[in-house]
Structure 1
Amino acid sequence: MVTMRLCVFGANGPTGRLVTGQALGEGHHVTAFTRHPDEFPIEHPRLVVAAGDVADQDAVTDAVAGQDAVLSVLGVPYSKDPITVYSVGAEHVTAAMHRTGVERLVAVTSSAVEPNPNRIGGFLFERVLQPYVVNRLGKTLYDDMRRCEAIIRASGLDWTLVRPSGLFAAAEVSRYSVVPGHGVGRFTARIDLADCLLRELGENGHHRQAVAVLTTEGSPSLASMMWREAVGSKH
């Protein structure tokens, strides 16, 4: 892949730190956008840590200016209160990209915004656990992700939406799968998600498509994944 200048929104989350580290390891220049720059654990000559909030249009525009591409891995916990981080972030990031002439955007949402119409998890998963997470526990979050996707689709930019399933930690990148639309599986390792985001920036990226990224090796149990979902993990 050609060396690029990348801006990562949500850089201080679990996936954001992984994709920042992987990008630096591949020779890219990275601007890590975070509300808590003092807590960012990575230091590197090719890294700029930009303090800011995606609700601040000027800060977002400053971070995007001069980049070759933008990666959005924004994430917040579940809440019963209305969530707007994803949609506001999408509005401000896409506006900043238009203002500064940056065209390539790869953004993370979730497979839960459009559940697989095919049965892949058995009765307990399909009829009890998944509906509870999508329609009750995470309703405000997934509603905002849908608004985010709509904004990005209508932006006119060169976008890709990456939809992981139940996120878990793994030590190294696996032979994960990436398919347009829906895939077969319930889990995604964060390190695989981070790798996928960088691969989507290459020549074989899925332009103006939503893709599912799924880990097929070393996945956790359904029970442990649902527990983490209930607690509310961020990207």
Structure 2
Amino acid sequence: MKLVVFGANSPTGRLVTAMAVTAGHTVTAITRRPADFPFFDFRVQAAAADAMDADAVDWVVRDHDAVVSVIGSPPSMSPVTVCSQVTYNIVKAMINHGVRRLLCVGSVDLDAPDLSRVSLRRQRAIRPLVLALSRAVQEDVRGMEGIVRETGLDWTVFRPGRLLSGSHVTDYRTTVRPLPCPLTSRADIAHALVRELTNGDHLGETVFVTSARRMR
């Protein structure tokens, strides 16, 4: 399968690229700085493109079989539109070129109201600044997920918990029901994305990924 990976030079994106190649896929890795992309493999092509530029996205999506987006943005007190705008550009390009399969990474924090009231009170008391900084980003991610669900494409949204470093895949759990306060290793979310490309078990679903306890 020929993949386009947006956010390929992020820590999670690099793992997705490596695992996709190991699984036998070829990857076009989208990054603003191809010279800094640490892959030297004939199955990986680093392409310079600004994902906020609709024309650039249209150009790189053409002639591929699937798109994986691990685009993110740092915490901000001001409104941000990175995830939603990039996703809009990706979806438009996919429809234009007849590319059906789309996998995106969202955020488990969008389901914070589903957590216990005690848990929420504790978070608000301990982390008011963190929550304020993440609110704009979460609204952006919420917009991104809304765009994906309205596309009619063969989409899957993965929602990791708080991301942990680590290059080893654990015996992680996937579920379509949210879990309170999960932790997820970057290796596990990357592995789940690549496995879904092959299996297609969760078309049109939001999937929560929780790492095994030994990673916590």
TM-score, normalised by the number of residues in structure 1 = 0.85
Residue number in structure 1 paired with 2:150: 154
Q: Supply the distance in 2 between the matched residues of 1:177 and 1:132 (Cα, whole angstroms).
A: 30
Post-superposition offset of 1:183: 2.7
Would you say 1:208 and 2:204 are equivalent positions?
yes
Post-superposition offset of 1:219: 3.3
Residue number in structure 1 paired with 2:18: 21
Q: 2:51–2:57: 8 Å Cα contact kept in structure 1? A: yes
Q: 1:103–1:158: 8 Å Cα contact kept in structure 2? A: yes
Residue number in structure 2 paired with 1:166: 162
Residue number in structure 2 paired with 1:199: 195
**Bigger helix fraction:** 2
Post-superposition offset of 1:119: 3.0
Q: Percent identity?
A: 39
Q: Supply the distance in 2 between the matched residues of 1:141 and 1:97 (Cα, whole angstroms).
A: 24
TM-score, normalised by the number of residues in structure 2 = 0.93
Structure 1 residue ranges without an equivalent (≥5): 221-235
Tell me the alpha carbon deviations over residues 54-100 of structure 1, each in whole angstroms, 9 at most, x when there is no partner.
11111111111111110000012111122111010111000000011
Q: 2:77–2:133: 8 Å Cα contact kept in structure 1? A: yes
Post-superposition offset of 1:19: 0.4
Residue number in structure 2 paired with 1:231: none
Q: 2:170–2:215: 8 Å Cα contact kept in structure 1? A: no
Residue number in structure 2 paired with 1:142: 138
CA RMSD of aligned residues (A): 2.0
Secondary structure of the corresponding residue to residue 213 of structure 1 = strand
Letter in 2 for 1:158: D
Counting only pairs closer than 5 Å after superposition, residues 71-110 of structure 1 correspond to structure 2 as: 71-110=68-107
Post-superposition offset of 1:192: 0.2
Aligned residues: 216
Residue number in structure 2 paired with 1:54: 51
Q: 1:54–1:60: 8 Å Cα contact kept in structure 2? A: yes
Deviates more, 1:116-125 or 1:94-103: 116-125
Residue number in structure 2 paired with 1:112: 109
Counting only pairs closer than 5 Å after superposition, residues 217-228 of structure 1 correspond to structure 2 as: 217-220=213-216
Post-superposition offset of 1:170: 1.8
Change beyond 3 A, Cα 1:30–1:217: same
Post-superposition offset of 1:115: 2.0
Q: 1:60–1:96: 8 Å Cα contact kept in structure 2? A: yes
Post-superposition offset of 1:130: 6.6
Letter in 1 for 2:110: V
Change beyond 3 A, Cα 1:105–1:204: closer
Change beyond 3 A, Cα 1:121–1:201: farther
Tell me the alpha carbon deviations over residues 123-163 of structure 1, each in whole angstroms, 9 at most, x when there is no partner.
775553576544x1201100100111111111111111100
Secondary structure of the corresponding residue to residue 44 of structure 1 = coil
Q: Supply the distance in 2 between the matched residues of 1:66 and 1:121 (Cα, whole angstroms).
A: 50
